[in-house]
Structure 1
Amino acid sequence: MTFALQDFVTTILFVIVIFIVLSVLVRATVKILREYERGVIFTLGRFQKVKGPGLIVLIPFVQEMVRVDLRIQVIEIPAQDVISRDNVSMKVDAVLYFNVVDPEHAIIKVQQYLPATVMLAQTTLRAVLGQHPLDEMLSERKKLSLDLQVILEGQTEVWGIKISNVEIRTVELTDNMIRAIAKQAEAERDRRAKIIHAEAEFQAAQTLVDAATIIASVPAAMQLRYLQTLTEIGAEQNSTVIFPMPLDVIKPLLALLETKTAPPPAITLPVGIHAIP
């Protein structure tokens, strides 16, 4: 009975070992890749081909496979300390969208393409934004995002990575700078208001000059204005009416008054005649 029990235990252990070995071989031999995955196959350390998706069969201990995800990945670039061209300190963060288009280069050309892309995006963000003043960062954010995308595409193309989009998300300023920008905006609004008021005064003055020129060229126009003014005053039922007198009517009266109030001419004595005191 003792020998039979030992043989049974030995058989069970052998079966377990065989099962473990077969499981390891199956896992090393058979690989299943999803639709968005590709496998970079290496044979004895040398690149062979890119396979997938679907069922992939490998030679155990001879071939190995590295999975690569082809989906667009979204990475948040943490806030970076940036000094603009006009020496303004701020914190800027962004969002990076990219995907792998060449699995071979993504695995062979760079050690780890994901952290490498993130670090490259951080340094490029600081370098590009540091070349622009603060006003451009706030007003032309879309243009700066396109510049970042073009620069990153030029550097990650050799890695087999396609930069889909770069979006500058937040520009954080200090409290002092926010107050200064608010004062600048207020001063700009005051300047525009004064310019608009001055332009309105100029247009009104120009219109009055044009109207005066037209009235001066047609004397009857002034009489029509007088009659229109009287009509407007009469419609309001006023007890007092102020009627302006034309200067052409007043000028003869003023000349007559000046003649009557003029001093008598001085008497000039002939030469040789002296007044006796």
Structure 2
Amino acid sequence: MIIVAVLALGLLLAVVASLRVLKEYERGVAFRLGRLRQPLGPGVRVLLPGLDKLVRVDLRVVTLTIPPQEVITRDNVPARVNAVVLFRVVDPVKSVMSVENHAVATSQIAQTTLRSVVGRADLDTLLAHRADLNEDLAKSIAAMTEPWGVRVEVVEIKDVEIPEAMQRAMAREAEAERERRAKVINARGELQASAQLRDAARTLSESPASLQLRYLQTLLELGADHNSTVVFPLPIDIIGPFLDAFRGGAAPGVNGAAPAARPAERTRDDD
């Protein structure tokens, strides 16, 4: 009875040791005496102890952070760039048979590709057109990881660090650009205002009475403030009729007539 109990216990332990449970997001790559077997799906699987070896492969998306890389852009600006890569295994057999460690290999490929792609771009493209660089990075990394059964989902550049001197130069450049735009806008406003003033002057020149009305309206606006003294010139169009009337009714002498005759001088004969 003792022998039977020992054999039963050993058989039970062997059965328990041969059972493997694979989760829904896992796949199993099994080797029997070194030879590849069919991939194992999720659930309870039976393996022969000592004969079969199981390698679990996770099919979930893996987040890989690329450490900061020292790069030099195409316009010779040093920068530190880091990124994040999201990938997942789509072929468990290739991920085990084609590469020793697909996660480490993907990380190394992502680092070298990041330095290569960023080195071909200038600083303005790196700062303002990251979407194009991200797409180029994803295509380059995916082309090299596809034979390993790894699919790259997303590649995003997280941060770009540039020297402080370059940051100050960029700030000065941005300030100068803002000043240039302000001057251009001001010049355009002056041009439009001068065009409007020219049209207004033409309209007023066609009707002198409108100019007088405008003058009187300005006087009315200035008269509303009783605490100020305003010296306002009189237009010649307003005082011209009064000057003509004054000149027409003036005395002949005043208006340029001949002066009165001078009295005759006394001579010695009159004495």
Fold agreement, TM-score > 0.5: yes
* Among candidates 29, 34, 39, match of residue 50 of structure 1: 39
Is the deviation greater in 202-211 or in 92-101? 202-211
Aligned to 2:220: 231
Shift of residue 100 of structure 1?
0.8
Residues 233 and 241, structure 1, Cα contact 8 Å, conserved in 2:
no
Q: Does 1:82 align with 2:71?
A: yes
Unaligned runs of at least 5 residues, structure 2: 248-253, 255-271
SS at match of 2:20: strand
Q: Does 1:245 align with 2:240?
A: no
Is the deviation greater in 233-242 or in 166-175? 233-242
Residues 208 and 237, structure 2, Cα contact 8 Å, conserved in 1:
no
Equivalent position amino acid for 1:245 in 2:
P
Percent identity between the aligned chains? 44
Residues 72 and 119, structure 2, Cα contact 8 Å, conserved in 1:
yes
* Distance in 2 (alpha carbons) for counterparts of 1:126 and 1:222: 73
Q: Does 1:96 align with 2:78?
A: no
Q: Does 1:69 align with 2:93?
A: no
* Distance in 2 (alpha carbons) for counterparts of 1:63 and 1:197: 81
Aligned to 2:164: 175
Query: For residues 177-215 of structure 1, what are the alpha-carbon distances to aligned partners after superposition, in whole Å with 9 as ceiling and x for unaligned?
Result: 122112212222222222222222222222211211222
* Among candidates 16, 33, 38, match of residue 22 of structure 2: 33
**Number of matched pairs:** 243
Aligned to 1:207: 196
Is the deviation greater in 73-82 or in 187-196? 187-196
The alpha-carbon distance between structure 1 residues 239 and 149, as it changes in their structure 2 partners (threshold 3 A), is closer
Unaligned runs of at least 5 residues, structure 1: 1-7, 261-277
SS at match of 1:50: coil
Equivalent position amino acid for 1:101 in 2:
V
* Among candidates 108, 120, 129, match of residue 131 of structure 1: 120
Aligned to 2:269: none
Aligned to 1:218: 207
Shift of residue 88 of structure 1?
0.3
Is the deviation greater in 124-133 or in 60-69? 60-69
Shift of residue 86 of structure 1?
0.5
* Distance in 1 (alpha carbons) for counterparts of 2:119 and 2:14: 54
Residues 14 and 49, structure 2, Cα contact 8 Å, conserved in 1:
no
TM-score normalised by L of structure 1: 0.77
* Distance in 2 (alpha carbons) for counterparts of 1:178 and 1:229: 53
Residues 39 and 68, structure 1, Cα contact 8 Å, conserved in 2:
yes
Equivalent position amino acid for 2:52 in 1:
Q
TM-score normalised by L of structure 2: 0.79
